[in-house]
Structure 1
Amino acid sequence: MRKADRREPRIGARTAVALVFGSSAAVLVVEIVSLRLLAPYLGLTLETSTLVIGLALAAIAGGAWLGGRWADERDGRALLGLLLVVSGAVVAATPFLVRGAGGIADGSLLILVAGASIIVPGALLSAVHPVVTALRLSTLEETGSVVGRLSGLGTAGAILGTVLTGFVLISRVPVTWIMVGLGVLLVLGGVVVEVGSRRALATTAAVVTVVGGLGAALAPSGCDVETTYHCAVVTTDAARPSERVLVLDNLRHSAVDLADPTALEFAYVKALAAATESQLPAGAVRAHHLGGGGLTLPRFLAAERPGTVSTVSEIDPGVVAVDEERLGLRTGPDLRVRVEDARVGLRAVGSGSLDLVVGDAFGGVSVPWHLTTREAMTDVRRTLRDDGLYAANLIDHQPLAFARAEVRTLGTVFEHLALAATPGATRGEGGGNLVVLASDAPLDVAAWRAAIAARDLDWAVIDGAALDAWVGDSPVLTDDHAPVDQLLTPYAPTVGAPAAG
């Protein structure tokens, strides 16, 4: 194109900036919020994150390619309105579609719906960039500056969408309203740029989106509270009116008896309680808990050992709020809950200051990988007195690759180990909850076995050569290599079904 062929851009500079910046931001909002929508059904695992990120990247790539072709073949201004309207309609409907599919046992339908909910708006919004670029070009001599400027603005929008969602929106706004609000904004943006014969289509789509989006927002989400990290539900049982069960993302995490904190329901909590009874001296102790949930064990220790001081690292402030509002939690000098990452919180614990550290933090069925490594366990040991005890709850399923690796890792840090689980799991069959003890002081395994039996718990306890054989040649988990989710891969949860605690 010669200078004489120069023409005026077919879209204003400010409009171009708003469209490219806003559409790029919207793609990242959809990506991050999709992780929250899927977590109750697929778990918050590396595989779920990889799936969502991969789908979003595929949508961005496909949308950029299609947008370039469409920009050459069609009226760009009319096309922009349609891209925004359709993507907005899908975004606003996403919470309703995902939760509807999640309530069906067939997980393949959920994957299909989730994929479409990410790919369709992601591709359409990503197509906005090349269409706007084509509309802004007035001569080939300015191609580099136009493309570079709009690419930079698109990246800045993606950064803003990421930061705004992660640091502001999810902590303050239910994910349903984030998606509905974004969808409505996109449709309204489409109405603004829509021209000519398509104006009626845009107006109709806007009405449908607003009405449908409001319906999705008002439809039951299945959550009592949508916290920063979880869909939280508190259930009751008519047979035990004082008991409350905390369900996070369809997994039963904690059972609390409001009338009697020493009444324990879940098998793994009974095993942990038996460990404290059999391995720690009588009287008050100083304890630190990695993960809070319903704070069943801290309450038990406070009731059984008056004067015990427990600190708890719980990353989700919403869970703490549910504990206080629905589970009767009362904090004070003897029970302090800190909203923080558990590993970061360990750094604030004084060396040699604790009698007990309890590991009971989970994202879905997986212990967060950075709490499983040799380096993390070295920091746990630093906080314990010479005869202090580390007690951890693990979840794994056949072939128990993660649990074996975690016990092997603990063996590189502590002198003495013991493991309690169902008899099948101690033989390497089946799975479920497993409780491992670690200490530099000798463990009274016989006393732990007796304390477990006294709680009518049909679990076996192994240590020494039997435990070494059970662990085998499992890898040691380190900060450099801790494939926790991959080790857990053989476990395929049934979509929508709660796991037993």
Structure 2
Amino acid sequence: MTGSSSSPVAESTPGRAGLGPRAAAVLVFGSSAAVLVIEIVALRLLAPYLGLTLETSTMVIGIALSAIAFGSWLGGLVADHVDPRRLIGPALGVSGAVVALTPAVLRSTAEWAPVVLLLVAGLTILVPGALLSAVTPFVTKLRLTSLAETGTVVGRLSGVGTVGAIAGTVLTGFVLVSRLPVSGILLGLGALLVAGSAWFAWRTRGWSGAPALTLVVVAGGLAATAAPGGCDVETTYHCARVVADPGGGGGRTLVLDGLRHSHVDLADPTRLEFAYVRAVASVVDAAFPEGRPLVAHHVGGGGLTLPRYLAATRPGTRSVVSEIDGGVVRLAHDRLGLRPRAGVEVRVEDGRLGVRRLDTGSRDLVVGDAFGGVGVPWHLTTAEALSDVRRVLGSQGVYVVNLIDHGEMAFARAEVATLSATFGHVAVLGEPAATASGPAGEGGNLVVLASDRPVDLRAVQRELDARDTGWRVTSGERLDAWTGAAEPLTDDHAPVDQLLQPRGP
């Protein structure tokens, strides 16, 4: 036999000796981690404009996965025809430049050309994601020496890339987002990628475009500082701002991701600006004797408008607040005049877990006012969550929850059906059109009261009228007709994002 070989050797790859196993691992690990950093931070960057919904998360994840698939396929194809040493540097450098420009580009687009925001957002994820995902097949091509070691090389680099993706996810979710602004994370990542491009060019004496891309990163940083849509504070969950009332005085509005969440008057805690807050106060003042101190728990804090109101109008009231966003709590202290005071305790925790820790029958009042964007987090809406609320309320206790819905009001109807299946007495407060039978109105805020004891709804209506809300109480058969055939929400099935309808034109 002639031409036989026990170990067929692949065609020699130029420059393979210049890329050792450690350098290869660093490239694959770093590029894979960067893709996941981009994906997670993109969700934070888009939340003020698209909302932090299941649909937004699905879109971003889908684009990121498409980028990984496309980049891996195209990278492998190109690596078979072009020396990979000429490709790795540009892939890292161009990715870094795009990433560094992303905060300024997205925020400017959202402000001045919102109609193309989805297209621009998709490109800012797809382009760097695909280029970075192509690095792995480029490196794999350089590391392969023979068919006999193909499995080992591919498997090792695939594992390294997966570990890098995990590291990028964990680092971003647990460290970066809680300590750095979104623009800072992307600018820093862009600078690292351009530095990686320069490092690889130095090792291989190849592509030398890193200096020009460094200028792009610097330009991205300068543009990010001038771009619209800045925040006073980027918290773990929100882009947060505090806006003073235009007429002066002590009024302050807490704006989270572009939506007004709370209003407080630094000089007068009994001033309630938002209609839904006046509705909650109407329920409380009608359901309990005037001035009687309460033991209350608040799911969601924001500017702590209601705890301040209760402390001022019912001396001796003890309020515990479960607020998941520690940055919002700090902002309430620094900018909204919240100071340590008797009877108000704020815990940085998930609202459902906070309720679960409370003793049975230990609360007179539970107030639900937690939102992610315009929707109540789904796990706070289910029969299981509400059963825990019912457990912590005494026999005379009352649960009051703020909801927002539009269009067909499908979510609000489902949540009222869930409350009706949990509590003995339920009523809805809202503008007359919101609970009218027939064609759906514009929707908006609704406040639902639920209790195992009857609450004087006429007294509630008098309080609503006295506070000039224009709202009406709906209960009994009218409420049953409005709720219709809506199914209660459960931990097993609570499609809150799908039930919520967007605001009409």
TM-score bracket for this pair, using the shorter chain length: over 0.9
What residue number does 1:499 align with? none
| Secondary structure at 1:138 match in 2 | coil
What residue number does 1:434 align with? 446
Query: What amino acid is aligned across from residue 308 of structure 2 in structure 1?
Result: R
Pair 1:317-2:321 in alignment: no
Contact 2:263–2:305 (CA<8 Å) still a contact in 1? yes
Contact 2:294–2:318 (CA<8 Å) still a contact in 1? yes
Pair 1:446-2:454 in alignment: no
Distance 1:290 1:35 in 2: 24
**How many angstroms does 1:52 deviate by?**
0.6
Distance 1:436 1:15 in 2: 60
Q: 2:308 aligns with which of 283, 288, 299?
A: 299
Contact 2:187–2:220 (CA<8 Å) still a contact in 1? no
Q: 1:477 aligns with which of 486, 489, 492?
A: 489
Cα gap change, 1:487/1:373 in structure 2, threshold over 3 Å: closer, same or farther? Answer: same
**How many angstroms does 1:457 deviate by?**
1.1
Pair 1:255-2:263 in alignment: yes
Query: What amino acid is aligned across from residue 491 of structure 1 in structure 2?
Result: P
**How many angstroms does 1:2 deviate by?**
6.3
What residue number does 2:252 align with? 244
Identity %: 60
Pair 1:5-2:9 in alignment: yes
Distance 1:430 1:211 in 2: 44
Q: 1:177 aligns with which of 159, 184, 190?
A: 184
**How many angstroms does 1:217 deviate by?**
4.6
Query: What amino acid is aligned across from residue 232 of structure 2 in structure 1?
Result: D
What residue number does 2:119 align with? 112
Distance 1:193 1:409 in 2: 59
Cα deviation 1:237-266 (Å, max 9, x = unaligned): 232411000000000001101110001100
Query: What amino acid is aligned across from residue 70 of structure 1 in structure 2?
Result: V
What residue number does 1:355 align with? 364
Distance 2:8 2:90 in 1: 33
Distance 1:302 1:367 in 2: 26
| Secondary structure at 2:262 match in 1 | strand
Q: Which 5+ residue runs of structure 2 have no aligned equivalent?
A: none
Q: 2:378 aligns with which of 369, 379, 384?
A: 369
What residue number does 1:466 align with? 478
Distance 2:217 2:155 in 1: 34
What residue number does 1:123 align with? 130
Which deviates the most, 198-207 or 327-336?
Answer: 198-207
Query: What amino acid is aligned across from residue 461 of structure 1 in structure 2?
Result: V
**How many angstroms does 1:207 deviate by?**
2.5
**How many angstroms does 1:191 deviate by?**
1.2
Which deviates the most, 273-282 or 431-440?
Answer: 273-282
What residue number does 1:54 align with? 62
Query: What amino acid is aligned across from residue 3 of structure 1 in structure 2?
Result: S
Q: Which 5+ residue runs of structure 1 have no aligned equivalent?
A: 495-501
**How many angstroms does 1:216 deviate by?**
2.1
Pair 1:89-2:101 in alignment: no
| Secondary structure at 1:419 match in 2 | strand
User: What TM-score results when the alignment is normalised by the length of structure 1?
Assistant: 0.95
User: What is the RMSD computed on CA atoms of the aligned residues?
Assistant: 1.6
| Secondary structure at 2:493 match in 1 | coil
> How does 1:143-162 map onto structure 2 within 5 Å?
143-162=150-169
Cα deviation 1:421-449 (Å, max 9, x = unaligned): 10100104220000000000012111101
Q: How many residues align?
A: 492
Q: 1:190 aligns with which of 194, 197, 220?
A: 197
Pair 1:136-2:143 in alignment: yes
Contact 1:191–1:206 (CA<8 Å) still a contact in 2? no
**How many angstroms does 1:62 deviate by?**
0.5
Distance 1:347 1:333 in 2: 24
Query: What amino acid is aligned across from residue 87 of structure 2 in structure 1?
Result: L
Distance 2:267 2:348 in 1: 26
Cα gap change, 1:216/1:198 in structure 2, threshold over 3 Å: closer, same or farther? Answer: farther
| Secondary structure at 1:361 match in 2 | coil
Contact 1:290–1:313 (CA<8 Å) still a contact in 2? yes
Contact 1:180–1:217 (CA<8 Å) still a contact in 2? no
> How does 1:31-42 map onto structure 2 within 5 Å?
31-42=39-50
| Secondary structure at 1:169 match in 2 | helix
**How many angstroms does 1:198 deviate by?**
5.7
